[in-house]
């Protein structure tokens, strides 16, 4: 900072989502002066995301999270579905161990984000809603360009550190030159609805009791062959349902994302879950809430260290990356670095689901003819499939390495 421009805050956080609030909360708990700027009229007012939050990380930040936060249900059932036009092959995994200790919960961000913002204010952070940050303030010096604060309309606010927590496609980070435009195959677009249903209806349809919850993930016909998938998550008295598709594949196949979404809602194996429901809202959604928590914890620790050393330069803040990649977030990024490439294999979204269904049809279709061993049934089904043995082997190896 220059001698004539004393900072207004130790840190300015742009965005009052999960990442922004956890960062601000941790810094405020350190005794730092923190401002959180939120574009929406209130935290959560613009956020149509939500879904399954793997909650172990956020429980470390807020030990009373499960009892105090507005969580919906505790996920004890994970249902993975290969969806075809007229058939469905699924793995239905239920486990009481996922409930004690709790592994994951469903949340609605319109409820969760205001709760997080309240925790920030209790810790001493200042929340400024209804304000859009136009750009960051910078100055050039011997060590390069340095961020001094932000401009919002006619106002300039200065801080030792500015945190861009304005979403996975952060416009502030791009404007500051920290990120380049992502290629299409790195981007996905999603459409989501929250469908209102009575609590008793949800529990009956998903075979749940008490605060148990279910998460359904689907690939295949749900996205009409476009790379991506569909999801259904149970809330207390609503269901979050939607699709997420790769932007490059959507563009190449000249599909309309809302048409794919409508197709998913009307699918013969999905529609019964939603029958009689009332749609409350729709919009874009991104996932990764548990990763937002982990990255926020790493950011707060690194910023605290930098402020203690009075060095908020690029070098002084470099420990963020060290802490991030030493955490479960960074380790998971390394573990699954090959997963995006594996999920770009087009036959994952059509031929494999059809092959699995054909094998099971041969096993369960008792037509009074002598039965064949399952291996022979599988060979016959593979012979009728466009898939080749070498593709199965290659994809199997790639899947083992990626997942």
pLDDT in tens, 285-340: 334 788 899 999 999 999 999 999 999 998 999 999 999 999 999 998 888 888 88
Beta-strand ranges (E) seen in 184-332 are 188-196, 212-220, 228-234, 238-246, 278-283
**pLDDT tier at 365 (50, 70, 90 boundaries)?**
confident
Q: Does residue 2 register a pLDDT over 50?
A: no
Q: Residue 182 has what pLDDT?
A: 83
Confidence bin at 219 (pLDDT 50/70/90) = very high
Least confident of 205-209, 212-216, 232-236, 366-370: 366-370
User: Is pLDDT at 364 greater than 90 in this prediction?
Assistant: no
Closest CA to 217 of 343, 99, 402, 111: 343
Q: Which of 47, 62, 166 is nearest to 109 (CA)?
A: 47
pLDDT in tens, 30-52: 999 999 999 999 988 877 677 89
Helix (H, G, I), strand (E, B) or coil at 396: helix
Residue 98 per-residue DSSP state: G
What's the average model confidence in pLDDT over 189-203?
Answer: 93
Q: What's the DSSP call for residue 221?
A: G
Res 278: pLDDT? 55
Using pLDDT thresholds of 50, 70 and 90, give the confidence band for residue 5.
low
Confidence of residue 167 (pLDDT cuts 50, 70, 90): confident
Span 101-119, mean pLDDT? 95
The interaxial angle of helices 109-123 and 18-29, nearest 10 deg, is 20
**Which of these, 105, 54, 114, 92, lies nearest to 235 by C-alpha position?**
105
End-to-end CA distance of the chain: 46
Tens-place pLDDT, residues 381-393: 999 999 999 999 9
Who wins on pLDDT, 329 or 177? 329
Count other C-beta atoms under 10 Å from residue 281's C-beta: 10
CA distance 51 to 78: 13
Distance CA 135, CA 40 (A): 17
Bridge partner list, 159 = 9
Residue 48 confidence (pLDDT): 67
Cβ atoms of 107 and 289 within 8 Å: the answer is yes
pLDDT at 287: 43
For 237-262, the pLDDT digits (tens) are 999 999 999 999 999 999 999 999 99
Residues in the chain, total = 403
């Amino acid at each position: 900072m220059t001698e004539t421009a004393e900072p207004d805050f130790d840190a300015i956080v742009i965005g009052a989502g999960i990442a922004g609030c956890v960062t601000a909360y941790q810094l405020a708990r350190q005794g730092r002066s923190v401002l959180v700027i939120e574009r929406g009229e209130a935290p959560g007012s613009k956020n149509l995301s939500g879904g399954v939050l793997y909650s172990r990380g956020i429980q470390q930040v807020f030990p009373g999270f499960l009892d105090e936060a507005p969580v919906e249900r505790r996920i004890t059932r994970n249902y993975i579905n290969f969806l075809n036009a007229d058939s469905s092959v699924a793995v239905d995994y239920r486990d009481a161990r996922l409930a004690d200790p709790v592994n994951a919960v469903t949340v609605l961000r319109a409820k969760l984000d205001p709760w997080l913002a309240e925790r920030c204010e209790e810790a001493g952070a200042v929340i400024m809603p209804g304000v859009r940050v136009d750009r960051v303030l910078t100055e050039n010096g011997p060590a390069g360009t340095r961020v001094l604060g932000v401009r919002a309309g006619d106002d300039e606010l200065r801080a030792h550190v500015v945190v861009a927590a304005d979403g996975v496609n952060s416009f502030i980070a791009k404007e500051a030159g920290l990120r380049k435009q992502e290629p299409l195959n790195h981007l996905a677009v999603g459409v989501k609805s929250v469908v209102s249903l009575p609590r008793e209806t949800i529990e009956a349809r998903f075979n749940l009791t008490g605060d148990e919850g279910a998460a359904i993930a689907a690939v295949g016909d749900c996205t009409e062959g476009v790379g991506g998938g569909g999801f259904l998550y149970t809330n207390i008295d609503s269901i979050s349902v939607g699709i997420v598709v790769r932007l490059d594949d959507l563009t190449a196949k000249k599909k309309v994302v809302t048409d794919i979404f409508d197709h998913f809602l009307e699918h013969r194996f999905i529609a019964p879950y939603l029958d009689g429901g009332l749609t409350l809202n729709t919009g874009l959604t991104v996932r990764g809430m548990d990763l937002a928590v982990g990255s926020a914890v790493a950011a707060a620790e690194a910023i605290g260290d930098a402020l203690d050393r009075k060095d908020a330069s690029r070098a002084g803040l470099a420990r963020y990356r060290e802490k991030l990649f030493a955490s479960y977030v960074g380790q998971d990024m390394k573990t699954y670095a090959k997963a995006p490439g594996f999920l770009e294999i087009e036959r994952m979204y059509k031929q494999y689901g059809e092959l699995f269904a054909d094998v099971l049809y041969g096993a369960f279709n008792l037509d009074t003819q002598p039965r064949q061993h399952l291996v022979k049934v599988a060979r016959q089904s593979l012979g009728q499939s466009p898939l080749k043995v070498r593709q199965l082997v290659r994809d199997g190896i790639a899947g083992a390495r990626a997942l």
